[in-house]
Amino acid sequence: MSKVLIVGAGGVGGVVTHKCAQHPEVFSEICLASRNQDKCRAIAAQLDRPIQTAQVDADDVEALVALIESFQPDVLIHVALPYQDLTIMEACLRTGVPYLDTANYEHPDEAKFEYKEQWAFQDRYAEAGNMATLGCGFDPGMTNIYCAYAQKNLFDEIHHIDILDANGGDHGYPFATNFNPEINIREITAKGRYWEEGEWKETDPLAVKRTFDFDGIGEKDLYLLYHEEMESLCQNIKGLKRIRFWMTFSDKYITHLKVLENVGMTSIEPIKVGNAEIAPLEFLKAVLPDPASLGPRTKGKTNIGIIADGIKDGKRRKVHIYNICDHEACYREVQSQAISYTTGVPAVTGAMLMLEGIWKGAGVFNVEQLDPDPFMDRIGDMGLPWQVVELDPDHDPLA
């Protein structure tokens, strides 16, 4: 019987709260805190058991410490924004509360997507005997755990990994992002990058395109992007020669994005408008649909997973490990679309394993450094069943 403090009442925060509420045997008390307490109350009103709500500015370490000291949680799940990773890690360290997040630290003024500043907490967490679990959403998160599972159970050596993130969902708007627009557009407009033979190789944004036939969705265009889980996976999967990340976008999405980019709306450099200073991307976020509002409108499925190839028992092997998730089924269960669902469910599953002492350790861990088996055993029942499909090792589906 444990207490969980959830920080962030957006799309993912809603799913995390619903899922924790479905498991009173683990999460006996829940507090949902966010900058805007009304959003927490709105989520609380959807549940059939009472939870606490609180207002907190997660940029403020002292305010977080005060909230943690008053609620006394056994674990904190951070699903606010990546800008708050460092302040929340600091507050957890000061109060001795285990920490879990779903996205790496982002500096508000610079798009970097790197783990350096969170890994810098390693010694202090280790000395304090406290645990921080980084990147336990879907990607990063589930995809890292698929890689760890493949490394432990399916291969002697993995040589190549391709992470494939496909969203076949349609929300009916001409243009909207499925999660926080600022973070989403920062990711997509950045240069593409992949890791090969110990080096990072760069491409122009959205310059490398392939097609892939996804189970449950059909044929989709995929674009090579940089994505944060590659930074830890290229270090933690031994013998790896190459890792790439691919995401699907429709032609309609790319056309809108190009126009917005061409007119300067995706910039994070603040500009003066009258007497106000505002970053165009922040303004764009304010005019785009709130991702949390897409749930009731979105139809279709996601298919996210990894293709790994390497050697098993002296023979070449290639597998596709993936989950298919249905937007409408997610909405029926937790009043949210599949992007928030596929992020929130791994976060809750990871927090459960930490509370039960199955995932344990002192320090800062990326999820592939933890045992994948208990996670993979449980994640299907939690709502994200997975499958392993053998592929022909001589055929490259991304050629």
User: Which residues are at the interface with ligand NDP (CB under 6 A)?
Assistant: 8-13, 34-36, 39, 56-59, 79-82, 84, 102-103, 137-141, 179-180, 183, 291-292, 339-340, 343
Structure tokens at 214: 């996804």
Whether 246 and 222 have beta carbons less than 8 Å apart is answered as yes
Structure tokens at 169: 């969902």
Q: How far is the CB of 41 from ligand NDP (least distance, A)?
A: 12
Q: How far is the CB of 25 from ligand NDP (least distance, A)?
A: 26
Where does 159-303 have alpha helices with state H?
181-189, 229-236, 251-262, 280-287
Q: How far is the CB of 156 from ligand NDP (least distance, A)?
A: 29
Q: How far is the CB of 58 from ligand NDP (least distance, A)?
A: 3
Q: How far is the CB of 304 from ligand NDP (least distance, A)?
A: 8
Q: Which residues pair with 27 in a beta bridge?
A: 2
As a whole number of angstroms, the distance between CA 16 and CA 132 comes to 18
185 vs 339 by CB, closer to ligand NDP: 339
> Whats the size of the chain, residue-wise?
399
Distance set, CA 255 to CA 174, 223, 258, 261, 383 (Å): 10, 14, 5, 10, 34
285 vs 317 by CB, closer to ligand NDP: 285
Closest CA to 281 of 294, 293, 264, 256: 264
151 vs 167 by CB, closer to ligand NDP: 167
Q: How far is the CB of 325 from ligand NDP (least distance, A)?
A: 12
39 vs 193 by CB, closer to ligand NDP: 39
13 vs 98 by CB, closer to ligand NDP: 13
Whether 351 and 215 have beta carbons less than 8 Å apart is answered as no
As a whole number of angstroms, the distance between CA 189 and CA 396 comes to 27
102 vs 232 by CB, closer to ligand NDP: 102
Cβ-proximal residue to ligand NDP, closest one: 10
